[in-house]
Structure 1
Amino acid sequence: MTLNLVKLCVGVESVEDLQASIDFGLADKKSRGLEEIQYHTTRMVPKRLDELLDGGSLYWVIKGNIQVRQYIVEIRPFTDKADISRCRIVLEPRLVLTQWQPRRAFQGWRYLTVKDAPADLSEANAGLLKLPPELRRELADLGLL
C-alpha cells in the first residue's frame, strides 16, 4: 500500500522558489561533476520504506499549505562525518502541483496516507497557476482555494 510523507519547506516562499532552488542545486552538482540527483536530507530514517517506495511522494508545506509534491525515488540511509545517522530522500525533480491543504507547523516529517493527501491540480484548475503566488496565498487564506 502506498504511503507518502509531508514536510515543511522551510525558507521557501512559493512553488516557483522551490523549483528555482531545485534547478540551482542540480546545475551546481552538474558543474562540480557530482551525481545529478535531487534529495532532501533528514535526521530520521522512515521505518515504512516499502510503502514509501511503492509510488509515494513527499508533499511540501509552503507558507502553511500543502501546495506541491515530488515522487520519492529512493531512500538512502547514511552516516555523516560527525557519525550521526541520517537519510537522503531522493526525489524526482519534477514538481506536481496539488490542491492546497492547510497544515500547522511541525518538526521533522509525518506520514500521509493516500486518502488524506490533497488531489493533484488538474487541467480544469490550470487557471490557478496563472495567478501570482501572493494572490493564490491570499485566496487560500480566505478559504477560496
Structure 2
Amino acid sequence: MALHLIKLCVGCESPEQLEGWIEDRLALRRQLGEPVEQIHTTRMVPRRMEELEGGSLYWVMKGMVRARQKLLEIRPFTDSEGIGRCHLVLEPELIRTEWQPRRPFQGWRYLKPEDAPRDASGSSEDDALPDHLKRELHELGLL
C-alpha cells in the first residue's frame, strides 16, 4: 500500500471552496497557455518519494481531514533564491473522505495507509447535515 501526505488547507473552509480554487487555477493555466495540471508547491521535498507513488494528498480543513487528491507526480526544483522546493502534481478531482480530527501542524506530514480516513460513502444521510452540525456530532463521538 502507498504512503500518503497530509497537509493543512490554509484559508479553505470546505471541499466546495477548494474545488472552486482548483477550477480557477486550471482556467488561469488554460488562459496563459500553460499545461493544464494542478500543482501545489511545497517548501520541502519528500525523501520517501518512491513510497508515495500511488498515494494521495489528504487535506485538513478547519481541524478535520475532509478530502484527498491523488498524487500524480512529485517534481523537486530549486527556486530563484536557491531554495529546494517541490511541485506536487495532483489529480484535479477532489475525493471526499470521512471526517477525521487533526491538530494544527506546519508543512506536510507522511500519513500511513492504516491511519488515513476512508473515502466518504456519499450517502444522502452524510450530505444532509450541515458542516457545523457534523462537526459537533463528530466531537461528541456520535459520527
User: Is TM-score (shorter-chain normalized) higher than 0.5?
Assistant: yes
1:34-71 CA-to-partner distances (Å, cap 9, x unmatched) read: 11111111111101111111x20000000000010000
- Per the alignment, residue 12 of structure 1 pairs with 12
Matched residue pairs, number?
A: 143
Taking structure 1 as reference, are residues 58 and 126 closer, same or farther at Cα in structure 2, changes over 3 Å only? farther
- Per the alignment, residue 34 of structure 1 pairs with 34
Q: Which amino acid aligns with 1:22?
A: I
The share of aligned pairs that are identical, in percent, is: 57
1:116-144 CA-to-partner distances (Å, cap 9, x unmatched) read: 10011124x34322444344334334433
Q: Which amino acid aligns with 2:126?
A: L
- Per the alignment, residue 93 of structure 1 pairs with 92
Cα distance in structure 2, aligned partners of 1:111 and 1:94? 21
Cα distance in structure 2, aligned partners of 1:92 and 1:48? 20
Secondary structure at the residue paired with 1:136? helix
Secondary structure at the residue paired with 1:60? strand
1:140 to 115, 138, 141: 138
Give the 5 Å matches for 1:50-129.
Answer: 50-53=50-53, 55-123=54-122, 125-129=123-127
Q: Which amino acid aligns with 1:12?
A: C
1:57-98 CA-to-partner distances (Å, cap 9, x unmatched) read: 000000000010000000000111112110001000101111
TM value normalised by structure 1: 0.91
Taking structure 1 as reference, are residues 130 and 52 closer, same or farther at Cα in structure 2, changes over 3 Å only? same
Secondary structure at the residue paired with 1:82? coil
**Structure 2, unaligned runs of 5 or more:** none
Cα distance in structure 2, aligned partners of 1:78 and 1:126? 43
